[in-house]
Amino acid sequence: MKGLFSALLVPFDEEGNIKEQGLREIVRQNIDVQQVDGLYVNGSSGENFMLTTEQKKAVFKIASEENNGDVKLIAQVGSINLDEAIELGKYATELGYDSLSAVTPFYYKFTFDEIKNYYNAITEATGNNMIIYAIPALTGVSVSMDQFDELFQNEKIIGVKYTDANFFMLERLRKKYPNKLIYSGFDEMLIYGVVSGVDGAIGSTFNINGKRAKQIMELCHAGKVAEAYEVQHVTNDLIEKVLDLGLYQTLKEVLNVKGIDAGICKKPMHSFDSGKKGEVKQLVTDFDL
């Protein structure tokens, strides 16, 4: 379960339907071209929180079929509807996903006991392993060290997708829990996570820039940190331009330019500004995507 995982993009048509063939193409792009070690399915990058339960199941099924055992699969099932999270967790487990993941429950100001019970309920009902998805900038939920101590008492909670800029806590987690999986969640800070000893990374830009991200990891592991920084600089130049144009819209448009049917984003997200397609074509050329 170590290595680089793409947070899988999901293509939609104008009516918000999943484009099945396009999704299969994106799965293959990640595995065959970007050479990722795994896929993180139905996360933020898959626009998960705007999907119906049946659409989420369809994404799990299509991704699993197309992967066909090639790489590891993590199913993000988190929801503030616990019944839905358990239903999705059971479904993904039946499909053979290697682990579940779940975002911390958000919107309502849940107590820590409520958050802990949520994770325990999912793991108990599904029998599968769990990777906590900690992303306080979007959920408003920060997990303290003492709280991680409690969560990790559940042996089924095998790690965390750590999308947080608090690298002091990351170092403390790594030191205290050498046997738990820790994944870096910020693509633009990948090198700092690798130097801190993470087991892998999960990110949206790996759908188009996975090879470069793997290079950062490999260089760091070989002790060539200065060279890894040079690759991170190039990566962050790309990320800056992608963010300027619109994150998910631009990632999809890069794939569209490359002949992969990545569709558009699901409403209420805007579609890509077609007037900027030339800038995306230039990105593809300039960064050898």
All structural domains of the chain, each given as residue ranges with its CATH number in brackets, are 3-223 (3.20.20.70)
Using a 10 angstrom Cβ sphere, with 0-12 exposed, 13-18 middle and 19 or more buried, the burial of residue 192 is middle
Write out residues in the chain with pLDDT < 70, as ranges: none
Q: What is the pLDDT of residues 128-175, one digit of tens each?
A: 999 999 999 889 889 999 999 999 999 999 999 999 999 999 999 999
Output the pLDDT for position 47.
Answer: 98
Annotated binding-site residue numbers for pyruvate? 202
Output the pLDDT for position 219.
Answer: 98
Please, which residues have CB within 8 angstroms of residue 218's CB and are 6 or more apart in sequence? none
- Residue 173: beta bridge partners? none
Output the pLDDT for position 143.
Answer: 94
Using a 10 angstrom Cβ sphere, with 0-12 exposed, 13-18 middle and 19 or more buried, the burial of residue 122 is buried
Annotated binding-site residue numbers for aceneuramate? 44-45, 163, 185, 187-188, 204
Output the pLDDT for position 97.
Answer: 98
Q: What is the pLDDT of residues 65-86, one digit of tens each?
A: 999 999 999 999 999 999 999 9
Active site residues: 133, 161
- Which residue, among 17, 41, 22, has the nearest Cα to 262 in the 3D structure? 22
Output the pLDDT for position 138.
Answer: 84
Output the pLDDT for position 137.
Answer: 83
Output the pLDDT for position 260.
Answer: 98
Predicted structure pTM score: 0.97
Output the pLDDT for position 37.
Answer: 98
CA 232, CA 190: separation in Å to the nearest integer? 8
